[in-house]
Amino acid sequence: MDKSAILDRLRDAIVKFDIDEVKQSCNEALQEGIPAYEIVMEGMARGMEVVGEKYECGDFFLSELIMGGETMKEGMKILEPHLEAGDRIRRGKVVIGTVEGDLHDIGKNIAATLLKASGFDVIDLGADVSTGKFLQQLQNSKAEILGMSALLTTTMVKMADTVDAIIKAGIRDRVKVIIGGAAVNAAYATEIGADAAAKDAVDGVAICKNWLQVPQTH
């Protein structure tokens, strides 16, 4: 079967939450020799983009957004061993989490999944993460990148607090800070002293790869 046809079918299966089809398409894509990273980014990630767009315009609700993420996880189970296999380049460490007071983690989970798929070591702190916990993990892990997510405007201030804490700890010069989520944009990133704001998970991965000058694997 044509490569683009398999990837399109995988994208559509994610949008329909068809786990059996996702598994079958992932296996077929591997059999056709498509690199696992490409299957993730050109198949499943595109499907999640569609799910996200449908959520934003009101066609899907939060339950569908979660189902999309769960469907993608099933595909990742098949692909992860192949992502680990290949010539794995150490692409750096990322500490990621949703800021304190915010329990929204769908976008953050997708970003973490895609970063792992891209070869990054990901330390996912989950949701409702305090400034102190972010700082402690950055110091312990020597991670090069911090990713913070916020969906609520009321929790955005925690991002600024964390950037300030990193500066006070004297590690800001070695840590790149990327923020994401519905509440934030590039102007806010500049305002709080972050390095970038991601439009979505796929954009965030591209920014992180560019920072660490990671070559594309396809």
Domain ranges within the chain, ordered by starting residue: 3-84, 93-211
More confident residue, 188 or 91: 188
Task: Please tell me the predicted confidence (pLDDT) of residue 62.
Answer: 75
More confident residue, 83 or 121: 121
Of the pLDDT bands very low, low, confident and very high (cuts 50, 70, 90), residue 85 is low
Q: Say yes or no: do domains 3-84 and 93-211 share a fold.
A: no
In the DSSP assignment, the letter for residue 215 is P
Question: Of 27-31, 67-71, 173-177, 210-214, which range is least confident?
Answer: 210-214
Q: What is the mean pLDDT of the chain?
A: 89
Residue 116 has pLDDT above 90, yes or no: no
Residue 196: strand pairing partners: 178
Report, as an integer, the average pLDDT of 96-123.
Answer: 86
Contact (CB, 8 A) for 118 and 205: yes
Task: Please tell me the predicted confidence (pLDDT) of residue 132.
Answer: 98
pLDDT tens-digit map of 9-46: 999 999 999 999 999 999 999 999 998 878 988 898 88
Residue with tokens 């996912």: 124
Report, as an integer, the average pLDDT of 94-114.
Answer: 88
Structure tokens at 48: 């999640």
- Sheet strands side by side (includes 93-98): 121-124, 93-98, 145-149, 176-180, 196-197
User: Which architecture does CATH list for 3-84?
Assistant: Orthogonal Bundle (1.10)
Task: Output the pTM of the full model.
Answer: 0.70
State the amino acid at position 184 in one-letter form.
V
Question: Of 49-58, 80-89, 90-99, 115-124, which range is least confident?
Answer: 80-89
Report, as an integer, the average pLDDT of 42-59.
Answer: 84
User: Which architecture does CATH list for 93-211?
Assistant: 3-Layer(aba) Sandwich (3.40)
Of the pLDDT bands very low, low, confident and very high (cuts 50, 70, 90), residue 203 is confident
CA distance 96 to 68: 20
The three-class DSSP label of residue 130 is coil
Task: Please tell me the predicted confidence (pLDDT) of residue 195.
Answer: 98
Buried b (16+ CB within 10 A) or exposed e, 46-55: bbbbbbbebb
Structure tokens at 141: 């892990």
Residue with tokens 């970063």: 115
CA distance 169 to 139: 9
Task: Please tell me the predicted confidence (pLDDT) of residue 217.
Answer: 43
Of the pLDDT bands very low, low, confident and very high (cuts 50, 70, 90), residue 89 is low
